[in-house]
Structure 1
Amino acid sequence: MALADSSIEPRLLESAKKEFLARGFELASLKDICDRAQVTTGALYKRYRGKEELFAAVVAEGVNSIEEARKNKSDFDFDLMSDDDLKNAWKMNKELLTGWFKLFENYRDSVVLLVKCSSGTRYSNFKHDFIEYVAENSYSMYEELIRRRLTDKKISKKIMHTLHSAYFEMVFEPYVHNFSWEDICENIDAMISFFDFEKFIGIK
């Protein structure tokens, strides 16, 4: 019995990544993807049900790593946090912010695909959903500050979301506009200078 060609899937994924990056999901051509990978469309459909499933496979590793990091950095057990821990969580931390960008750099192509090329896929709201998740967790932290009387400033969920939207525009825009790492480092310094979450929250 003939062995399956193990090189087909990597070739398909690499060809698909190039096509999606060049043309976006909606304009990408499965025929062009197959031609570049030197495989038949039949071989593609044996592995993927269609273009969206192929797109999902291309970004899967990046999506999984980013979502795992987001959960690890956004989910808090308030019972284990001192008042100082809770207040320090709002400080602009260059090391932490740089860590996010280094993670995104490891999956740069996936990040570009998710924020720039995913219209028409299940990931078309990736950026919005990412921001919403973090903003919801931040609002829970804010409510804990209120409960502990560490702030008495009144902030609505809508305003919390707006602040995070502005913040994450500066996180994701470098991947829309193909910033170099040097540009990203400048962007990090600008974010730290511009955003003052402690003042916004009114931490005592």
Structure 2
Amino acid sequence: MGEDEKSTLNLIHIAAKAEFLEKGFQSASLRNIVKNAGVTTGAFYGYYGSKEELFKALVQDVYEHIMSRYKESLDKFASLPIESQPEQMGKISRKSMEQQLFYCYEHLDELHLILQCSKGTRYAFMIDELVELEVDATHKYYDVLNKLGSPVPNNDRRLEHILVTGMMNAFFEMIIHDMPLDSAKVYLQELNDFYTAGWIKIMGQ
């Protein structure tokens, strides 16, 4: 790709980000994006076939990073010897979420697009996808505790889903409300302490 093409693509991305952040995906106007980028419609379609493809170009890498790192963290925990997992439960989660936090603050615009402006796209369900991963991992940990002779009470799956959803939403609220990073780091520590203690109680440990 030549410099002129890179420049044109950059102008499209800048205009698209501003339009999506202001109006959301569904209400954003492709005509406005093209106009504000100072390019022709033909030039736009030389890069993207639709508004959906353009939105994907802006957020896909960030979405994939968040999802893959979360899965890696869960897999890392599950691969530990089962005798080590109770001790490591809160520690690995804390480190993973700290890493996610720093990454999110390096990509705030993209996170705002995903969290607040993505209705009408697959990215609107990112938090739901993270919740499902966490709930599945929680049930696998129940099996570990059972094998260790510390059986877990029969918890209502609806309650589990509510608690995990609350945890995920609490994390991303820091991004949505542009909390200063120093404050967010403290908030995250308190959040981890709160939910770790709560889960230990619910699991009867």
TM bucket normalised to smaller: 0.7 to 0.9
Matched, 1:107 2:107: yes
User: In the alignment, is the contact (CA less than 8 A) between 1:25 and 1:120 conserved in 2?
Assistant: yes
Gap regions ≥5 residues in structure 1: none
Alpha-carbon offset, residue 160 of structure 1: 2.1
In structure 2, the partner of 1:27 is 27
Quick one: which amino acid aligns to residue 106 of structure 2?
A: N
- Structure 1-normalised TM-score? 0.87
Provide the rounded CA distance (Å) in 2 between the counterparts of 1:152 and 1:134. 17
Matched, 1:10 2:10: yes
User: In the alignment, is the contact (CA less than 8 A) between 1:62 and 1:110 conserved in 2?
Assistant: yes
In structure 2, the partner of 1:162 is 162
User: In the alignment, is the contact (CA less than 8 A) between 1:139 and 1:157 conserved in 2?
Assistant: no
Distance 1:72 1:3, change over 3 A: closer
Provide the rounded CA distance (Å) in 2 between the counterparts of 1:179 and 1:3. 37
In structure 2, the partner of 1:201 is 203
- Structure 2-normalised TM-score? 0.86
User: In the alignment, is the contact (CA less than 8 A) between 2:82 and 2:144 conserved in 1?
Assistant: no
Distance 1:133 1:59, change over 3 A: same
Structure 1 residues 35-72: Cα deviation after superposition (integer angstroms, max 9, x where no partner): 22211121112211211111111002211211220111
Moved over 3 A (4+): 92-96
Provide the rounded CA distance (Å) in 1 between the counterparts of 2:64 and 2:14. 18
Provide the rounded CA distance (Å) in 2 between the counterparts of 1:186 and 1:152. 31
Identity %: 24
Matched, 1:86 2:85: yes
Could you say what the CA RMSD is over the residues aligned between the two structures, in angstroms?
2.3
In structure 1, the partner of 2:188 is 188
Distance 1:200 1:10, change over 3 A: same
Alpha-carbon offset, residue 193 of structure 1: 4.0
Alpha-carbon offset, residue 164 of structure 1: 0.7
Provide the rounded CA distance (Å) in 1 between the counterparts of 2:49 and 2:41. 11
Alpha-carbon offset, residue 130 of structure 1: 1.7
